[in-house]
Chain A
Amino acid sequence: METQIQITCEEIPGKANARIVRFTGDLDATNVDFTTEQIFSYFGDGIIRIIADFKQMRYVNSTGLGILLHFNKSAKEKGGCFKIVNLNENVYEIIEIIGAASLLDIYEEMSEALASLE
């Protein structure tokens, strides 16, 4: 009965060690372990610049917000980044309310996030 989440990864032409990682579904306590394993497997493969596309991500709870901050911190410690794009307004509101918007690297458009990788 676990919440469904799908994570897919695609290369970004001309951007070394960078990938677009697309999330689909809900991120919550039932799948944070799976999500963490996936993201850290990318880090382990040397992919330290990640653009997380949340266009198909409907829901993120407090546990999910916690691991997003953890990914952000871990990527920076490795000299990379964890950028989030296409957040829906409900999730963004929760991030803002708890004061975490300034702690995460959030972009409205994919083009902006890609340009920031330069």
Chain B
Amino acid sequence: MSVTFPYTITIKFPSDLTVIPPVRKFISEALQVSGFSTKFAFRTEIIVDAICNNAIAYGSAGNADSEVSVSCEICADCVEIAVKDRGGSAANVERLREAIRRSRLESPTKELEEDTGMGLEIVKLLSEAIELSVDENNLTSINVISRREDG
């Protein structure tokens, strides 16, 4: 199959954790079809999973009308992922900002057991760059760039 880079996949779904697995798997399979390694596709699946979980947990959980948007720009040598949602409180956005700002794991056991921002720690370890932005309409966006190393 011939693929022309770059191309973008955009998926919008309700703020419901149970929708994340098919979304992350779809993106992973698209990467493999596009010639990326299974290892890179797996890493990207982990990244998409973690960011979407955070978007729902810290943002739009409990709001039946909310939705999450995942946009994945697939280039020849990298993938740029943007996950957007609306509805995060200022306190939750600040928690998210702090989780992204932390430079390293202080206690992997504790953080994993308590599931406090550990997903974002893994995202940071697996990606080249991660950014959080919030616009004037309270649209929260996490953008991640992951570069392919070995195919």
A residues in contact (CB < 8 Å) with B: 1-3, 26, 28-30, 59, 61-63, 65-66, 69-70, 73, 89-90, 93-94, 97-100, 103
Contacts and interface: CB of A to CB of B under 8 A. Distances in A.
B46 A94 contact: yes
Tier of interface size on chain B = 20 to 34
Interface of B: 16-22, 38-39, 42-43, 45-46, 49-50, 53, 105, 108-109, 112-115, 118-119, 121-122, 125-126
B112 A66 contact: yes
Given A98-B108, A103-B109, A66 B17 contact: no
A30 B21 contact: yes
B53 A103 contact: no
Contact of A98 (B42, B105, B114): B105
Prevailing SS type, chain B contact patch: helix
A2 B126 CA distance: 26
Nearest to B50: A62
Contact of A69 (B45, B105, B109): B109
Contacts of B42: 59, 90
Given A63-B119, A99-B105, A90 B112 contact: no
Nearest to B42: A90
Contacts of A98: 105, 108, 112, 118, 121-122, 125
Given A28-B20, A29-B17, A98-B112, 10 more contacts: A29-B20, A61-B46, A62-B112, A62-B122, A63-B119, A66-B118, A73-B109, A89-B39, A97-B125, A100-B108
A65 B112 contact: yes
Contacts of B126: 97
A26 B21 contact: yes
A71 B85 CA distance: 33
